[in-house]
Every structure is written in C-alpha cells, then in structure tokens.
Amino acid sequence: MEATVKDINIVQNVIEPTIRIQVEFTHNYTMGIRVLNVTSHLRTTQPMSILELGVPMLTDYQDISHPRGTLAFEVKLGHHGVYMIEQERRKTEDVWLAMWGIILGFALIRFRNIEDGKRIDEGTFVHESFTVSQSPYDKIRISASDWLKWYQQWGKTACSLIIYEPRIAKKLEQIRAELKVADDNELLSRLLSVMESQKLTREGKVVFEFLSTTPEKKSFKAKVAEMLKKAELKDELRVSGYLGTTFQEKFFELVNKGCLVRLVTRKELDKESDTATKELSKRRPDSVRRLNTVHARLFILGDKEAVISSADLKSDSLDTNFEAGIWTNDPQIVNHAVSLFEKMWQAAER
C-alpha cells in the first residue's frame, strides 16, 4: 500500500482549532475495500523538537474500488497545541507534521449492480488490519503563509502554558472546588467576566432591559432582530428552546457566511419549529442537538449579550403569547448563560 497527502486545511466553524487531512492511497486488492476503522497519531517533526498533537479521527470514507481511494482525518489541535506549534514554527518558518503508528482495519468486498444502478456489496470476505509505518505522508508540510492565514483565522486565541507557583496552584484548586468549576479555563473565564463586569459597571455601560411580548408591545422580537443585525462572523449564536421561521432567513444567511450557530431543542416539535430546525440541520449538520428536559430559553450573541426569557424564537412567542424576559450585556450573566448552554449541549443527543 502507498499513501500520500492529497489536501490539508482547517475545519471551519468549530470551537477549537482543528485541521483536516485528506490522504489518498492505492492498494493491490482486486476487490473493493470497506474501511472499518483507522487508528493513528499526529506529531510535529520540527528539527528542534517533537510534539505529540493527538489522535486523528476518521471523518470521511467510503467503499473503495480497486485500486485507489481516499480517507479524511480531523485532528483537534486545541489552542494550546496551536501555541506550541507556533513557538516551534518561528525557528523553521514552515510547519512539518507526521502521521505515524497507522493501523487500517478493513473488509474486502465484491460489488455488483442492481437495476437502479445502486452499488451494493455481495459479501464480506476478509477482515484484517496492518500497520503503515513508512509512507510519503510521514512528512506533511504546511507552508508558513498557509499557517499564518489559519493562525489569524483562529483569532490568535491560542494560550501559552502557565506554570503556577505551588501556593497559587493550591489557592486556585480551592477556588475551583468552591465555585464547582471543571478546570482552569472555566475558572479564568469566570474571573475575567467578573473583572469585565466591574469595569463596565464603573463606566456605566452594563445594561439590563426588561423584554416582553404583549398585544401592544413586541420588545422581545425587536431585541432579537437588533442582536441578529449586530452579529459578526466571529460571534457564535447559541439558542435553546424552539427555533421558528420568523428569523430563520437571517440565521441561515449568517450560517452560509460561516457564522457558527448551535441550537438545543426538544425531540418533538410543532410544524413551524420542525421546518426551521430541519433546514438548519441541512445547512449545518452538527448545529442541532435534542434534549427533552430543556426548558430554559436562551439566545446568546457571542460572549457579549444574552436574552434569558420565557419566549422561543418562533411566531407565537414573538407576536401572540404573553412573554417576559431580560436582555443584558453584563459579562458575568452572559458567562453564566453560556455555561448553562454548554451543559445542555453536552447532555443533549445529536
């Protein structure tokens, strides 16, 4: 078997920096191959040092006829991984990576055609695995220009490694336990939001607004429209509850431009919500998760603004029902809303 890298690029609209590696390979089997699993590792091969970057996840494959096929892998580098690569890259300009310890599990299959032209397998014959230890993609080159472009797109949000003094580490551990936060990232996020909230409060820039839907007033609808108008591509939109058709075109416009939108909704939907949710899933398959215990209605714009209310983003809540809620730009409240949304997202089903 021989394999080469066909393409390498970044994965758009994901929270953590992630790259996608497409590998083209040839094989000598006269029958097709059905890939069952692949395991491998990714590391840098910079002259100065070697960094382990994680386990590539197989994301795209198909039944492969003789003698050629492609596999696509995604590797979540994370902000820390990006930072470490950048420190090494400054010494050599380009980035050099290697996939190693590759084990490909597959089954040999024979295809036949049926009347409608669809290809089906006639039978599975063999399942075996083997290791590809030396191949052309032992050295994967990312040019300095490509890497810098990706680095800018990731927003230069990669963080440096911090080594704490023992007394500080102990104090942080106590604070984490008291606040019941999972890790340092969540703790720092909390502390930063408190500091930002205090700063904005001193400057008189923290605002709370009461929102409602009544026969005479539609301030909830007006605020949602205002937030969507202000949304930038770097802003993630988080929604919990039901999504309707009133603002769906604006949501889809932002999705098509590359804005990340995530929705936590219930499994059973009415016609309006079902239509909007299916269309969102079609445009961005990983943007919707379902959780029947979700009852909180949140609409969060990036890390800047949040609406916490009784209302869904659908026509009855926006125009007909009596609804009430709060809009705020208070960083502490927005941070708490984001944390709640992420907990619901983790608990929900795809």
Note the pLDDT tens digit of each residue in 97-141. 777 656 666 656 554 444 444 444 444 444 444 444 444 445 678
Distance CA(189)–CA(161), nearest Å, equals 16
167 with 303, same domain: the answer is: no
Identify the three-state secondary structure at position 132: strand
pLDDT tens-digit readout, 6-36: 788 888 777 778 888 887 777 666 666 666 6
Q: Return the beta strands (E) in 12-84 as ranges.
A: 18-26, 32-44, 52-54, 57-60, 68-76
CATH number at residue 268: 3.30.870.10
58 with 96, same domain: the answer is: yes
**How confident is residue 94, by pLDDT bands cut at 50, 70 and 90?**
confident
Residue-number span of the structural domain to which 215 is assigned = 207-347
Element (H, E) at 138: none
The closest alpha carbon to 11, from 77, 55, 69, 71, belongs to 77
With a cut of 90, say whether residue 328 has pLDDT above it: yes
Per-residue tokens: 305: 């603004």
- Mean residue pLDDT across the chain: 79
Q: Which comes out higher in pLDDT, residue 307 or 203?
A: 307
216 with 305, same domain: the answer is: yes
Distance CA(186)–CA(170), nearest Å, equals 17
On whether the pTM is more than 0.75, the answer is no
* pLDDT (average), residues 268-295: 92
Per-residue tokens: 36: 């069952």
Distance CA(340)–CA(343), nearest Å, equals 5
Give 93: exposed, middle or buried? Use CB within 10 Å, 0-12, 13-18, 19+. Answer: exposed
186 with 246, same domain: the answer is: no
* pLDDT (average), residues 250-256: 89
Cis peptide before 67 (omega within 30 of 0): yes
145 with 193, same domain: the answer is: no
Element (H, E) at 92: helix 78-92
Last residue of a domain, one of 153, 185, 218: 153
Question: DSSP string spanning 233-300?
Answer: TTPPEEEES-B-SSSHHHHHHHHHHT--EEEEE-SS--HHHHHHHHHHHHHSTTSEEE-TT---EEEE
265 with 189, same domain: the answer is: no
pLDDT at 129: 43
199 with 225, same domain: the answer is: no
Residues 134, 2 contacting (CB under 8 angstroms):
no
Last residue of a domain, one of 153, 182, 198: 153
pLDDT tens-digit readout, 41-89: 677 766 555 666 766 777 666 556 667 777 788 888 877 778 778 777 7
Q: Which comes out higher in pLDDT, residue 284 or 225?
A: 225
